[in-house]
Amino acid sequence: MSTTRARSIRGRKWWALWGLMAVSAVGFAVGSVPPYLTGDAADAPLPLNPEVALHYLSLMVHAVPGALALALGPLQFVNRLRVRRPKLHRVVGRVYMISVVIASTAAAINAAVTISGFAVQVAFFILVLAWLYTLAMAYRSIRRGEVQLHRIWMIRNYALTFAAVTLRVYLLLGLQLSPSTGFEAIYTTAVWASILGNVLVAEYFIVQRMLAPLVRRQRRDAPLVSTLT
Ligand code: HEM
C-alpha cells in the first residue's frame, strides 16, 4: 500500500474516532446538566447526602463547568483549527482550564460527602488529583514552549475528563448485562474501570501516535549522526 493511501486511511480513522468522542462528549454534557440548572435538589438524579445541606449546590458547581470542559475539549485536538486559529485555541484553552479547576474543586467536595461508598471516594479523589496534576503539567509545558509535551499532557487530561462519559456507558452496560449484581457494585466497578480504561487508551495513543514515530525517526537519523560526529 502506498504511503499516501495509508495516511488517508489513518486520517479517516482518526476523524471517525474524533467524531465519536465529540458527539458523545457533547451529548453527555447537554444531557447531564439540566437537572442541575433548575435549582431544585429534588431533580438530582443522584441520591444526596441528607446530612449535607449544600450537596446539590456542590454537584451543580461541579457538573456545569465539567460539562463545559467536556464539550470544549474535542475542539482543542483539531490540528487545522489550532494552526489556523491560534487565538481561538488559546481562548478555548483558558476557558477549559478554568472549568476544570472549578469542577475539580467541587468534585473533591462531592467525593468527600458522597454516599456511594469508600471505594468510590478513593477513586474520585485519585481522579481529582490526576485531573489537576495533568492540567498543571500541560500549562507548565506550554508556558515553556514545549508544544509536544503540552499535547501529551492535554491528551492525558482530556482522557480523565472523558471518564465522565465512559463511567455512564459502563454503568448502563453493567445494569443491562448483570442486573442481579446490584447497583452499588456495578457503580463502583464502572467508576474504577472508566479511570483505568481511559488512562490506558490515552497512553496507548501517546506511545503509538506520538512517541513511536519520533523513535523511528531518531533511529533512521542515528547512523547519519554517528558518521557526522
Ligand atoms: C474527571 C474528573 C471528575 C471527577 C473527579 C468527578 C467527580 C464526581 C463526583 C465525586 C461526583 C459525585 C458522585 C457520587 O456521589 O457518587 C460526580 C457527579 C457528577 N459529575 Fe463528575 N467528576 C469528574 C468529571 C465530570 C465531568 C467532565 C462531567 C461533565 C458533565 C461531570 C458531571 C457530573 C455529573 C452530572 C454528576 C452528578 C451525577 C449525575 O447526575 O449523573 N463530572 N462527579
Residue 228 confidence (pLDDT): 58
Instruction: Looking at the CA of residue 162, tell me the nearest atom of ligand 1.
Output: 27
Which tens digits make up the pLDDT trace of 165-201? 999 999 999 999 999 999 999 999 999 999 999 999 9
For residues 88 and 73, give the distance between their C-alpha atoms in angstroms, rounded to a whole number. 13
> In the prediction, which pLDDT does 199 show?
98
Write down the pLDDT at residue 225. 59
How far the first Cα of the chain sits from its last, in Å, is 36
Tens-digit pLDDT profile for residues 98-129: 999 999 999 999 999 999 999 999 999 999 99
Any atom of ligand 1 within 6 Å of the Cβ of 25: no
| Ligand 1, atom nearest to 121 Cα | 10
Of the candidates 188, 118, 129, the one whose C-alpha atom is nearest the C-alpha of residue 157 is: 129
Q: Which residues contact 44 (CB under 8 A, 6 or more apart)?
A: 35, 36, 56, 59
DSSP state of 46: S
Q: Which domains does the chain have, with CATH numbers?
A: 9-214 (1.20.120)
130 lines ligand 1 (CB under 6 A): no
Q: Are 188 and 119 in contact (CB under 8 A)?
A: yes
Is the pLDDT at 227 greater than 90? The verdict is no
Binned at pLDDT 50, 70 and 90, residue 226 comes out as: low
User: What distance in angstroms lies between residue 229's CA and the mean position of ligand 1's atoms?
Assistant: 55
Instruction: Determine the distance separating the centroid of ligand 1 and the alpha carbon of 40, expressed in angstroms.
Output: 18
